Each structure stands twice: as C-alpha cells, then as structure tokens.
Amino acid sequence: MKTVIPEGYKSLLSIYDTQKAISLLKRLFEDRLGALLNLYRVSAPLFVDESSGLNDNLNGYERPVSFDILRSEHRAEVVQSLAKWKRLALKRYGFYPGKGLYTDMNAIRRDEDELDNIHSVYVDQWDWEKVILQENRNLDYLKLTVMDIVTAICDTQDTIQAIYPQLQCLGKLERRVSFVTAQQLEDDYPGLSAKERELQYLKKHKTAFIIGIGGALKSGRPHDGRAPDYDDWSLNGDIMFYNELLGCAFEISSMGVRVDPEAMDRQLRLSGHDERRALPYHRALLNGELPLTIGGGIGQSRLSMLLLGKAHIGEVQASIWDEMTLNQCEQAGIILL
C-alpha cells in the first residue's frame, strides 16, 4: 500500500464533526441529485444470484465475493456495482422516460491492487439510473447530465461550507466542466500513461469529463477498462476534479449512456465475451426487452473526502488497512475509522 501524507496536513474537522458532516453531506447531495435528475430513492440488493448475469464484471479480472446459501441450490455474489440490476429494476418498477432511481451501493473489491489514499477494499457509492428515449442517446444529453451532477456537487459544497466555515479555506470547486475525449488526451500527451494524462489535464481545467472509455484508442489500448455490457463505450466517461490537497486527478463518478442491443452486440464481440449472450440479462437486452437508460455511480467516500478536505479515504469510511498504513497515519495524527 502506498499512502502519501501531505506536508503539514491536519483535519479541518474533529472526528465527531466529521461524522456529522458526512451524514449531512449525504442527505444534501441525495436531495439535490434527485431533484436535478428526477430520481427516486429505492432499495437495492447486497448480493445477486451468481447465474443471473446481473453482477458487474468491472474489468473482467476482479473476483466477486461469493457464498452458498443453506438449503438452497443458488449461489450468491456480493455485487461489485448495480449497473445491470438498476436497468432491470426500472422495467420491473414501471419507470417511464425522464424518470429514474438512485440507491446506496456497498461492495467489496477483494482484488483492488491500488490500496492507498483514495482506494479501499470497501466501496460505497450512489448508484443511479434513468430511463431515456432513443433521441437522448447522444453526447449532448450526456453532457447536460454531467453538468447537472457537477451542479449538485457544487451546491452541496456551498451549503456544507456555510455550516462549517472552517472548510472555506479549501476554496470552491470549478463548476464549469471541461469536456475532452480519451483520444484527445492520448493525442495531446502521447508519451504519458492514461493516469498521467488525466493529471496534466486536470491541473489546467480543474473539473473535467473524459469521454469514451473502454474501447481501444489509436494506440490499440483503451484509456481504462470498462465492462462491455453496460456502458456504450462511445457515450460514457468519468467526472473528475483536481484534488488540490493530494495533487491528483480525482475521479468522482463513472457514468454513461447504456448499451442498446446494437452496442452490446458489438462490444461483446470486440471484447471476446460472446459467452455472456446466453445469460438471462443479456438475452433480454439483446432482444430489446429492457428500457434505454443512462446511469452511473458516484463515490460517497470520494465525495466526502473532497468536500471535507480529507487526505485519506479511511477518514470517512471504515475499512481494513495494513500495519504500515495504520502506523503511518497514526504518526501523522490521521484517525482512520
């Protein structure tokens, strides 16, 4: 694990006020997000049937946590995200175009190999999904949705800083979103890795949405991994802010217009995952039985870190850390939950 402690770092809030602020922050953001995107809160599963095809395969190599159930032939998997479950739920619950849902998603990423200031084995995020029309499957609609989410984040920051004036020294997040494609980043910074490109761009633009993640770029490599069966790789991306405290490009949300039958057919073929066509969820989607949607995930702990000026994700969520990280944080006066 690699933990970096910013020089002179000290939490702006006590651990007690941190807990109060996290609770308030989450309520404020949920209300603003729901209002701007026309979303209703629903309950969501912690695990799904292993054979349903509903679990998120992420980059394809991460192993979901699975377990058997007493006196049942089913084997369950803890969700890695709710990308597919949400779309099925929209159909089952009778949502119509222009309306959507959001929910709390808690996951275990046992194969997370970058445990550090901003990565944890435990993942908590708001998962959201909204029914759209065919004419909404375009970049303009995607960009408008991104701007609404950034507005919800910035509005939440304004309220939190009014209640906790000591946070005002963090400054304000940039409300204006700079849109750039992953291919443009590769063209502009050909000698850098994807993460290094993001950093250079965010240093300049502060708030950005990187478009087109999952498909191969001109170099033959994707900007980052994306499962082939939920986002349309040409209509997706990441919302990122420049984190002044940590000096890094800070991803808050992965989102996008979801695959229609044609996009899923193409992406399953390109990714070499044609075997998924036989799964119940994939059959329904390829047969045009599921609504067209847009959706994504917004990191709860990530947002708390950003708005409360925290240096380590363990300050805003309870997880497991190695002895080196625990000792390093203790010596720096950082309290991990």
Q: Give the pLDDT score at 155.
A: 97
Catalytic-labelled residue, pool 32, 109, 137, 302: 109
Q: Give the pLDDT score at 329.
A: 80
Catalytic-labelled residue, pool 81, 125, 157, 271: 125
Could you confirm whether 254 is annotated as catalytic? yes
Cβ-based neighbour number of residue 320 at 10 Å:
12
Assess whether pLDDT exceeds 60 at residue 49.
yes
Q: Residue 332: helix, strand or coil by DSSP?
A: coil
Cβ neighbors of 217 (< 8 A, separation 6 or more) are: 182, 183, 186, 223
Q: Give the pLDDT score at 260.
A: 95
Catalytic-labelled residue, pool 30, 198, 232, 251: 251
| Residue 7 covered by a domain | no
| Residue 241 covered by a domain | yes
CA distance 315 to 176: 28
Give φ, ψ of 188 to 5 degrees: -80, -30
- pTM for the full predicted model: 0.91
Helix residue ranges per DSSP H, the chain: 15-37, 83-92, 139-163, 182-188, 194-205, 261-271, 280-286, 300-308, 323-331
Number of domains the chain contains: 1
Catalytic-labelled residue, pool 124, 127, 238, 260: 238
Q: Give the pLDDT score at 60.
A: 61
Cβ neighbors of 185 (< 8 A, separation 6 or more) are: 194, 197, 198, 201, 210, 223
What does the mean pLDDT of the chain come to?
Answer: 90
Give the CATH number, domain containing residue 262: 3.30.930.10
Could you confirm whether 155 is annotated as catalytic? no
Could you confirm whether 109 is annotated as catalytic? yes
pLDDT, tens digit, 9 for 90 and up, residues 255-312? 999 999 999 999 999 989 898 898 888 899 999 999 999 999 999 999 999 999 998 8
pLDDT band at 58 (very low <50, low <70, confident <90, very high): low
| Residue 276 covered by a domain | yes
Q: Which residue has the higher pLDDT, 203 or 76?
A: 203
Could you confirm whether 166 is annotated as catalytic? no
Catalytic-labelled residue, pool 56, 229, 231, 315: 56
63: which DSSP letter?
P
| Residue 124 covered by a domain | yes
Cβ-based neighbour number of residue 30 at 10 Å:
20
Catalytic-labelled residue, pool 80, 120, 253, 254: 254
Angstrom CA distances, 301 to 14, 305, 312, stand at 17, 6, 10
Cβ neighbors of 247 (< 8 A, separation 6 or more) are: 6
Q: Residue 187: helix, strand or coil by DSSP?
A: helix
pLDDT, tens digit, 9 for 90 and up, residues 169-205? 999 999 999 999 999 999 999 989 999 999 999 999 9
128 is in which domain, residue-wise?
Answer: 15-331
Could you confirm whether 125 is annotated as catalytic? yes
Q: How confident is the model over 313-317, as a mean pLDDT?
A: 88
| Residue 336 covered by a domain | no
